[in-house]
Structure 1
């Protein structure tokens, strides 16, 4: 006779499966929703954008309303799923994350600084292009839509920083470090049970490579270095929170650099 589960055991097993399903969704869905808004921006830009002096701002610069909407929706979703994240906050490792973030973004910004210091103009070619040397002046700039210093300008700028420093840092690190580093190691097994931050050449190469490819080609070299630094912090600290702090500090410094030096193409 085959053994059978009691009603209590069956219910407990079903609850464990449901919790596992919720955990997996919590790792993936916020990033998917965030990227869904990027797709919306591309579709709107292709079909409805009107680059004309008489065009209303929401048609001429659709990112000025898509980004804030994306930020709010993703933040609400993250708040609802918060209990499924293993941040393991630590002052020590968060401080280390801030240092790693400053170093990592320094590497990221180096190519455009070199572009200016070398006196380059226009499009680069050869090794300069491969290293990511570019002007990076065209990108998100609320002054174009609302005018410098207006209330709408400051509102758009604040929301852009919230998006970069909080939302992007959370959704990317949850996906890459909490989910993908486990998933690529044992995608057919109980990968969600693997300890956070376990070192593996396989997870390092795949996750860092995917992180690099998720960015623009001009950022590939910097993204590889930055992704490698984040991986080192992850396996040293065993703290998802430290990785989030690293990403948040890096994006904060990048945003400040972009605004102060007019390098809007960085974000």
Structure 2
């Protein structure tokens, strides 16, 4: 096979990595610009950075949509089971094991006196949680890195191809990319989402599992008001 035909184009590489890079950059920006007592824009920058992440990263995924192998998901039942199990694992310390509730975080109630702003904030937060995050993260972790660690010409590697090295590195990378409080559930989560890729060989199924986890988590957060899970 012609080596040029099997080498990913620059556009393909950018499509799989840029949304995640922008997402992490904006996330890091929140810590850089945060200045207690400096007014709402700098004291709580997540209230504008998170919507910016949603809009910018969502736009990037739409722009590069033709580069992704997001065909109809396969074995959706398996993705649903895994997505639900991951949700239970994620909330288990607080819900079942008696850990202290995580009450501090992105609290939309700061806008409770302005209903339009409140519901707009909640809608954008769910759009980020349920749509943008699953797409951006699964495109990068399972769509790109899980294959790239097998062969740098990752487009020649089928989604769900197994290797111990890529499994371990993606699991640990995914896990430790989360906040310290979430490391253990995130490591389990990373391994289970990898399993979805291996079982279904479908990037879309990985997105479905991740989106379901996050939808259930978001609803649980709104019910329990444990904003630290956002």
State the TM-score, normalized to the length of structure 2.
Answer: 0.91
CA contact (8 A) 1:67 1:163 kept: yes
The aligned residue for residue 24 of structure 1 is 13
The aligned residue for residue 34 of structure 1 is 23
**Alignment of 1:264 onto 2:227:** yes
**Alignment of 1:80 onto 2:69:** no
Runs of 4+ in 1 over 6 A off after TM superposition: none
106-115 or 146-155, which moves further after superposition?
Answer: 146-155
Residue 140 of structure 1, aligned match among 89, 102, 106:
106
Residue 178 of structure 1, aligned match among 137, 143, 152:
143
Judged with a 3 Å threshold, the aligned counterparts in structure 2 of structure 1 residues 246 and 148 are, in CA distance, closer, same or farther, namely: farther
Give the structure with higher Rg (CA): 1
The aligned residue for residue 51 of structure 1 is 37
Unaligned runs of 5+ in 2: none
**Alignment of 1:96 onto 2:61:** no
Judged with a 3 Å threshold, the aligned counterparts in structure 2 of structure 1 residues 215 and 250 are, in CA distance, closer, same or farther, namely: same
Unaligned runs of 5+ in 1: 1-11, 119-132
Q: How far did residue 17 of structure 1 move?
A: 8.1
Q: How far did residue 225 of structure 1 move?
A: 1.4
**Alignment of 1:107 onto 2:89:** yes
Residue by residue over 1:210-258, the C-alpha shift from the partner in whole angstroms, topping out at 9 and shown as x without a partner, is 1111112221221121111111111110000000011111111111111
CA contact (8 A) 1:105 1:254 kept: yes
Matches of 1:177 and 1:35, distance apart in 2: 17
Judged with a 3 Å threshold, the aligned counterparts in structure 2 of structure 1 residues 86 and 44 are, in CA distance, closer, same or farther, namely: same
CA contact (8 A) 2:108 2:121 kept: yes
Q: How far did residue 148 of structure 1 move?
A: 5.6
Q: Helix, strand or coil: the match of 1:250?
A: helix
Matches of 1:149 and 1:96, distance apart in 2: 41
Q: How far did residue 96 of structure 1 move?
A: 2.6
Aligned residues: 229
Residue by residue over 1:43-87, the C-alpha shift from the partner in whole angstroms, topping out at 9 and shown as x without a partner, is 211xxx3437xx4x3343221111112211111111110000002
Residue by residue over 1:113-161, the C-alpha shift from the partner in whole angstroms, topping out at 9 and shown as x without a partner, is 135xx4xxxxxxxxxxxxxx442111110212x1267211111111000
Matches of 2:8 and 2:170, distance apart in 1: 25
Q: Helix, strand or coil: the match of 1:199?
A: coil
CA contact (8 A) 2:83 2:210 kept: yes
Map 1:104-253 to 2 at 5 A.
104-115=86-97, 118=98, 133-144=99-110, 146-147=111-112, 150-187=115-152, 190-253=153-216
The aligned residue for residue 52 of structure 2 is 69
